[in-house]
Homo-oligomer: A and B are copies of this chain.
């Protein structure tokens, strides 16, 4: 629900109500189990308030911007690229008189939108006569607006700070301690779950583009010369929708590819990147994301940061189209190098050789090596410019024994937008149960037990102290087992109570119709079994913890058959 609703809300800020909040905490608990525990990752927890210097080093202070235009009369702000994109799309969809050349031009503009400079974007807005959408007033030229929430740390006003736009920087600045904590060994991964903030110019797409959101990020540090992964075999056989660069550029669509082949053919840059793609696939489908509406799309060259080696987004299809929910990027050594340089603290790893190795060392200043491609170059010194020709320079090479190699690790970063994943999960888990003619249609959220906000409801069949007491006993045993539950003693018909519990996605409903035996009904199959009252908690727990499936349970316990009555159907 929109945050601060009684004050008419704030665009881009949303609250999770009780069911959403429970789903979120289940998703995060499973994330910890599936990634942190399974891989022995080092989880850290860093503050959101971040001093200027850190985000200056990472490039966010200078480059984390969107191009903005202002309504020249009212001052209302818009994202320049959104206005241009909306204009082109509307023309393409609705203008029947459009020439094929014009159509091609507009399509091209949409394709290169992210590459346009402020000047180019401004020129296009002028050329197409685009005005403010609400007032039709003229627009300012586009200018960059930094998307970070700015603040000031401490009372002096002299220490500028920002609310972090991602959690990753907290890990990078701690690299040295984390590497030490891991026994100075590579590879290792650090992880962090936390809030991130982006002061969007004009938030839209509801829950998908918001100003504050929960990120779960992994930074897996590897030797750039060895990006193999010991557990890659565990995911190599997986086959799912992938959308490599070539297919996008040649106008094809995503297709099913076996992950092992994508890596061996070089479509995916390396095994570690491939391993995480596979693990992300398993994570999302376990949560309840539809396999057919999940694809891994490779970034096109113009989408990737210049330093990135390769990047794949897990995109999920929902009513807004294909939405980026997880980004899996090989960021090379960029971040560690940037912080090393700015802070003066070396963020590096060492590989100790078992035997010293002989290496050729050039005693030649780095900066000169870089310039050697040139035939001739100029050096400014003491106010004079001296021209140096290639033949004036000699390189001396010597052989030397080295006992270790010191290098900046590469980092592979799977970054999860938790809110987006949850939004898509709600869409994928929703269905309408077919109903008989004339009856109300029933909405169901078929959350897997792992994710369901409430695991179990307890209904006394009729209002009676005896049944209420049994229901309370069962609730007590569920509590002791850590199973979230609701008792519904409203006494309305069981059918209505089932409908209500299906609607929030509760997988199991216990109906108390005797003091010794009760029925457990599963939400999706509507099958019922009979169990002893004191077995309820352990049966439900077995399925929730994934030790048994409902089908296993159906084998073990007697089925409960009721003639379909007006109540249930």
A residues whose Cβ falls under 8 Å from a Cβ of B: 1, 3-7, 10-11, 13-18, 20-22, 24-25, 29, 32-33, 37-38, 40, 42-51, 53-54, 68, 75-77, 145, 149-156, 159, 161, 163, 170, 173-174, 176-178, 181, 194-195, 197, 199-201, 211-212, 339, 342-343, 345, 347, 479, 482, 484, 486
Contact = CB atoms under 8 A, between A and B. Distances in A.
A342 to B, nearest CB: 8
B18 A155 contact: no
Given A17-B44, A197-B49, A201-B154, A173 B482 contact: no
Contacts of A155: 68, 77, 145, 199, 201
26 contacts: A1-B174, A1-B177, A6-B173, A7-B54, A10-B49, A11-B154, A13-B47, A13-B49, A15-B45, A15-B170, A16-B44, A16-B46, A17-B42, A17-B178, A18-B178, A21-B44, A22-B43, A24-B45, A47-B212, A48-B212, A49-B149, A49-B197, A49-B211, A75-B156, A149-B153, A155-B199
Instruction: Specify how many copies of this chain sit in the oligomer.
Output: 2
Given A6-B176, A18-B178, A151-B151, 20 more contacts: A6-B343, A6-B345, A7-B342, A15-B170, A17-B44, A17-B177, A17-B178, A17-B181, A18-B43, A21-B44, A25-B43, A33-B482, A37-B479, A48-B212, A75-B156, A145-B155, A150-B152, A153-B199, A154-B200, A163-B163
B153 A10 contact: yes
Contact of A45 (B16, B173, B178, B197): B16
Tell me which of A16, A194, A345 has the highest count of chain B C-beta atoms within 10 A of its own C-beta: A16
A170 B16 contact: no
B339 A49 contact: no
Contact of A18 (B44, B49, B145): B44
B486 A40 contact: yes
Contacts of A177: 1, 5, 17
Contact of A3 (B1, B46, B197, B211): B46
Contacts of A21: 43-45
A152 to B, nearest CB: 7
Contacts of A16: 44-46
